Structure 1
Amino acid sequence: MRTPDLFDTPVASGPVAGVDEAGRGPLAGPVYAAAVVLDPDRPIEGLDDSKRLNPERRDVLAVLIRERALAWAVASASVEEIERLNILQATMLAMRRACLGLSFAPALILVDGNRLPKGLPCSARAVVGGDALEPAISAASILAKTARDACCMDMHARHPQYAFDRHKGYGTALHLARLAEFGPCPEHRRGFAPVRRLLEGGGSP
C-alpha cells in the first residue's frame, strides 16, 4: 500500500515547484540542486528521473526546461560547505538556495526524498522517488544533473589527471586509481572515507 503523505501530490492553490539534487555521492566537487515550476500550458515530453536518461537526452531536455518553465533556479553548496556542514546539510542548503532563487514563491514545493530543507518560502512536502513520479521534480533532477556535469567538465579542465570528465567525481575504479596515484586535489571532499584515508596515510583509498 502506498503512503499518501509521501507519494500523493497535495492540492495546491497555485504553482508547484519540484526540487532535486545531484552529486551527494561523489568524492569531489560541489553538490547541486535545482527548483523548477513547470508551465502547464507548455508541456515537455519525456521528463523522467535524470538517472534514467542518457547525457544527450538530458541536455536536450535541460534546454526545453529553461525555455518553457514558469520559473527555474540552480544552486550549489561548495566543497568547503560540505566539509563544514556534512553532505546531508550541504545538500539541504543547496536545495534551499535553489528554492529561494526562483523568481517567485510557489504555492507548494515538492522535494525528492524523505527530508525537507529548512527555511523554505512556502509549504513543502517530501516525495520519496519523486524524480520518477512528479514531472516538476524530474525537471529539477535534469537541471541539477546537467549543471553538476558541466561543473565536472570544468574540474577536468583544471585537473585532467583525475579524469573527472569520465567518472564525474564518483568513486569508480578509475577515480580511485588516479586518487591513489596523484593524491587529492582541492576539489576532493576530504571528509569522505577514500580521500580521508589517503590524507591519514592509510595507503590506497
Structure 2
Amino acid sequence: MSKLKIGVIISSTRPTRFGEVPAKWIVEKANERPEIEAELVDLRDFDLPFFDEMASNLWMPSSNPQAVAWQKKVGQYDGFIFVVAEYNRAITGALKNALDQAYNEWNRKPFGAVGYGTVGGARAIENLRTIGVELQMVSTRSAVHIAGADFMAVHPGFGGTKTLTEIEGSIGNSTKDMLDQLVWWGQATKAAREEAAAQTAQAAE
C-alpha cells in the first residue's frame, strides 16, 4: 500500500497563535514513520467564509469557491492530525467552521490530535471527537496533550524556552501511540475506501 497522506491542520488563525510550533513538530514526527507522508494545512490560507451554503455538501454541491477549494484540499488526504487550541472548553470557531464546510471529504478517514494549553486541550479534543463521529470519521484513542508545566516550559508567552523535543520524555509515548493508531486506522480505512470505489466502478460498467 502507498504511503498515507496525512494533513496536519492548525486550528487557530490568530496572529499570536502558538499552534505552528506543535504543528511543525508533529509533521516531523509523523514523517519519521515510513507509512506516512504528512504536510501542514493552515486554515489561514483558505479564507473560508462562515458556513452559508443552502446545505452541507452531503446533500448538494457547495457554491462558494473558497469552500470548494477547501473540500478539494481535504479530499486529498487519507487522514488528519488536528493541532488543537482550546477556546472556552471547545475547539476554535475557525476549526468548527472548517469542519462544517465539508462532509463527504472527511468520511471514513481517521484523525489524531495534538492539544495544547493548561489542560493540554483535553476538553477541546473531546469536543472534536464528537464532531468527528457525525462526520463519519475515526478518532485515535490516544492524543498528545501539551499541558501544565510542559506547556509553560515551551510557550514563550509564559517565559518558556524549551523546545518540544526537550519535553518528549513527557509526550513521546502518547505521540507514538497516536501515530501507531493513525497508521492502523489509516491503512484499514484506505483499503476499505478503495474496495468500495472499485465495486462502484464495476457496478457502473
Whether these two folds match at TM > 0.5 is no
TM-score of the aligned structures, taking structure 2 as reference length: 0.24
Bigger relative contact order (CA 8 A; separation at least 6):
1
TM-score of the aligned structures, taking structure 1 as reference length: 0.24
